[in-house]
A and B are shown apart, each in its own frame.
Chain A
């Protein structure tokens, strides 16, 4: 054992990670280019839209509701330390639309959708269904990946928008029942201080997170190892990678959108 052994291992790990990033990037680019080359499988797309968008509504809605409520309580507690309780409505609204709506919505969808996509495609890979698709002259990227990625990219902004509204409502409900805010004043305060860009920036984040979630689900599913263990590992990796990438992308986008 020489001194250089740990270094060599570190080097191998770094190289492995870089290679992984490259492969994911190539996968994402290839997905996008398939958008511009026929055929387009509309039925698969609609099915994915239903699965990813519509069926995620309850999860995203509940997450937003409780988060908005807790946010109102915390901001009230913080604000009361320097007699600024009146900031609750506007900060709840800004916090939900800019950060918590997209990030928590994205993470919840990552848990729900990245895992199910990776498990479904991984199982298809393990049972040779992907090979069968190829022999039936159907490109797996077009038939499986593109519809899911497109659906998630389009559906997440809508989910985030709905989550924003429900989150603000959660803050409002807590505000008027627990914190003695006047209902009309709370709504007026929210409307006066919330700007269009607060909402729009959150929706753009949502689209990026949707792309990340579906791409990671498909990538790990397509590269699943053999057997049940391989599928399990692919599912776990998809959720972890999607979550971490969402948080990293969130920081980068926030820098881009809001740094002076």
Chain B
């Protein structure tokens, strides 16, 4: 269970989050939608403590994220960054197995490599890419390696920042299915940011729309189409006219 209460965050005069309230029940999949630059990525980073909110509280299973053992806290999380954020000094498999090669989850090298290759297979990458460096991969392949790294240690809570951007429709389908599987079979809690409405329908239990620094609408994915909320309607139908200004 992740609970955000009245979270604010500004960068200088740019007020990005202006009182976000949101809760994500354990074992469910929440999808965050919203315009580009509305602070979706910042929201995920606030939960992980990579960005410190100016005010408000964030609780995971009732515990404030700023208290308690940080290592134990982070060990429960996996995160796919919007830009992949692969370590370019390490090979693909060493990236995927990063957690399994050091720290509390450390295992023998061969075993870690096997796990890495299995995770790569799950995101649709062949074993041959394991020994390449990230710079030798295409953008979509890098994204999938980042995804494999996020799920490698089988975390309880996984954040995906635009997992299907830059992928072809078939591969996007594979990734959507994978995320769904991780939630239903492994019982993980997932938070996904996406701009792709077919992904939203494939992945989400619940949807939340971030606009103007607050959650404008949140509810089960089934109610998304008849929410009656003009902002959400404009967004999911991609209309240029509506309450959300599309400046050109």
Whether a CB of chain B sits under 8 angstroms from the CB of A256 is no
Can you list 13 contacts pairing A with B, beta carbon distance less than 8 Å? A124-B87, A127-B83, A129-B86, A131-B85, A134-B49, A134-B74, A135-B50, A136-B74, A136-B99, A137-B74, A137-B75, A137-B99, A138-B102
Closest approach, in angstroms, between the C-beta of B84 and any C-beta of chain A? 8
Q: Are A131 and B74 in contact (CB under 8 A)?
A: no
Closest approach, in angstroms, between the C-beta of B69 and any C-beta of chain A? 11
Give the A interface residue count (CB, 8 A): 14
Whether a CB of chain B sits under 8 angstroms from the CB of A39 is yes
Give the B interface residue count (CB, 8 A): 23
Task: From A39, A41, A128, A138, give the contact of B85 (CB < 8 A).
Answer: A128
Q: Are A132 and B85 in contact (CB under 8 A)?
A: yes
CB neighbours of B75 from chain A (8 A): 137
Contact of A132 with B104 at beta-carbon distance under 8 Å, contacts A127-B85, A137-B71, A137-B74 already known: no
Within 8 A of A (CB), among B36-58: 45, 48-50
Contact with A along B92-106 (1 / 0, CB 8 A): 000000110011100
CB neighbours of B86 from chain A (8 A): 129, 132
Give bound CA distance, A39 to B102, whole Å.
Answer: 9
Contact of A135 with B79 at beta-carbon distance under 8 Å, contacts A127-B85, A129-B85, A129-B87 already known: yes
Known: A128-B81, A134-B50. 18 other contacts (CB 8 A): A41-B102, A128-B83, A128-B85, A129-B86, A131-B45, A132-B79, A132-B85, A133-B87, A134-B48, A134-B74, A135-B78, A136-B99, A137-B71, A137-B74, A137-B103, A137-B104, A138-B98, A138-B103
Q: Are B81 and A131 in contact (CB under 8 A)?
A: yes
Q: Are B50 and A131 in contact (CB under 8 A)?
A: yes
Give bound CA distance, A207 to B221, whole Å.
Answer: 62
Q: Are A135 and B103 in contact (CB under 8 A)?
A: no
Q: Are A132 and B87 in contact (CB under 8 A)?
A: yes
**Most chain B beta-carbon contacts within 10 A, residue among A39, A128, A134:** A128
